């Protein structure tokens, strides 16, 4: 039975070694392998950055400044300026739509005014012709009235005879 105790100790020892190797793998070997793979992938980028910034040691400060310009900060960043311009463009687009609608309305009104002007001229011409006819008729009536008065004034004596003389011409026509 002592050999069962030895086997149990060996199994427990093997389990402890496997557990320890698992922890070492997860906590040390695998992260180190991942880091080495990442460094291998970043190597071309790091070489290029080194080449680009070798003459400009303040390059990262410039990159930080550029990056900060694309964050909002109460109006002074490029991002704030772009947002302001975008808002202004939206307002201008809305105003342009309203102006186009008003322009369309004004075009319709102008066309209506042209038609009304043409109709007004036609009515004025018609009224002028009628007025000319009324004036001609008034001249004839005035001339007849003058002749009637002259006939009535030419008769002396009885007022009835003068009235008869005044209307006498109208009956002849």
Higher-scoring residue by pLDDT: 7, 129: 129
Higher-scoring residue by pLDDT: 28, 55: 28
Higher-scoring residue by pLDDT: 117, 67: 117
Q: Is the pLDDT of residue 93 over 70?
A: yes
Distance CA 6, CA 13 (A): 10
Q: Which residues contact 165 (CB under 8 A, 6 or more apart)?
A: 151, 152, 154, 155
Range 70-88 average pLDDT? 80
pLDDT at residue number 86 = 92
pTM here? 0.36
Distance CA 154, CA 164 (A): 12
Helix/strand/coil for 48: helix
Q: Nearest to residue 155, comparing CAs of 168, 145, 142, 143?
A: 168
pLDDT at residue number 172 = 42
Average pLDDT, the chain: 84
Range 76-97 average pLDDT? 88
pLDDT at residue number 173 = 44
Three-state secondary structure along 102-166?
A: HHHHHHHHHHHHHHHHHHHHHHHHHHHHHHHHHHHHHHHHHHHHHHHHHHHHHCCCCHHHHHHHH
Range 46-70 average pLDDT? 78
pLDDT at residue number 134 = 93
Range 54-77 average pLDDT? 75
171 band by pLDDT with thresholds 50, 70 and 90: very low
Q: Which residues contact 75 (CB under 8 A, 6 or more apart)?
A: 81, 84
Q: In the 8-state DSSP scheme, what is residue 22?
A: H
What are the tens digits of pLDDT across the range 112-140?
A: 999 999 999 999 999 999 999 999 999 99
pLDDT at residue number 144 = 83
| Residue 1 CB neighbours (<10 A) | 4
Distance CA 79, CA 23 (A): 48
């Amino acid at each position: 039975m002592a050999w069962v105790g030895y086997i149990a100790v060996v199994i427990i020892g093997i389990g402890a070694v496997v557990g320890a190797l698992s922890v070492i793998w997860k906590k040390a070997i695998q992260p180190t392998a991942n880091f080495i793979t990442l460094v291998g992938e970043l190597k071309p980028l790091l070489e290029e950055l080194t080449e680009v910034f070798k003459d400009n040691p303040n390059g990262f400060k410039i990159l930080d400044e550029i990056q900060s310009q694309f964050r909002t900060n109460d109006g002074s960043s490029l991002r704030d300026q772009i947002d302001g311009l975008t808002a202004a463009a939206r307002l201008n687009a809305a105003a342009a739509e309203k102006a186009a609608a008003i322009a369309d309305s004004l075009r319709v009104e102008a066309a209506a005014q042209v038609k009304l002007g043409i109709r007004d001229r036609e009515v004025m011409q018609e009224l002028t012709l009628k007025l000319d006819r009324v004036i001609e008729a008034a001249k004839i009536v005035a001339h007849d009235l003058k002749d009637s008065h002259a006939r009535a004034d030419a008769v002396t004596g009885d007022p009835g005879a003068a009235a008869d003389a005044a209307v006498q011409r109208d009956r002849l026509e």
